[in-house]
């Protein structure tokens, strides 16, 4: 079931237009966290990307946004929106950090271990 959830989430995420993807993440996580996920220092940038016909994120930022949406979708479907939000902002020792080290830091900072975090989140959802 986890594999089908991840594959379904990937397909759903890849079909979203960039503004739809960013709008969904803004609603789920807030623009401050969305800006952090792509390394932007502007909290206004995610609002601009969420506008239909507006500016679009560059390919590296879009890739990070797609990855964040895939993780959000999998955790939200398995555990609900509140747990998914806490997964992004709260500490998770299963990702090799302490409770003061949220998963978003492990996954999205330069040199982060995105693939390991994805595997761990899949295991946690079983």
- Could you list the pLDDT tens digit for every one of the 126 residues in the chain? 444 544 555 566 777 888 999 999 999 999 998 998 888 889 999 999 999 998 999 998 898 899 889 888 888 989 999 988 888 887 666 655 555 555 665 555 555 444 444 444 444 444
What's the confidence (pLDDT) of residue 97? 53
Count of domains observed in the chain: 1
Nearest CA to 84 among 30, 35, 42? 30
Contact 95, 117 (CB under 8 A): yes
CA distance 122 to 74: 8
Q: Which domain holds residue 13?
A: 2-124
Predicted TM-score of the model (pTM): 0.71
Please, are residues 94 and 124 in contact by the beta-carbon 8 Å criterion? yes
């Amino acid at each position: 079931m986890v594999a089908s959830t991840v594959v379904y989430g990937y397909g759903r995420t890849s079909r979203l237009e960039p503004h739809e993807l960013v709008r969904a993440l803004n609603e789920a996580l807030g623009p401050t966290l969305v800006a952090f996920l792509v390394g932007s220092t502007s909290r206004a940038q995610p609002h601009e990307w969420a506008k239909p016909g507006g500016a679009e994120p560059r390919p590296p930022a879009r890739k990070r946004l797609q990855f964040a949406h895939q993780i959000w979708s999998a955790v939200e479907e398995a555990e609900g929106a509140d747990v998914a939000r806490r997964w992004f902002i709260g500490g998770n020792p299963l990702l090799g950090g302490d409770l003061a080290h949220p998963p978003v830091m492990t996954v999205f900072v330069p040199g982060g271990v995105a693939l390991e975090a994805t595997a761990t989140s899949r295991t946690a959802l079983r």
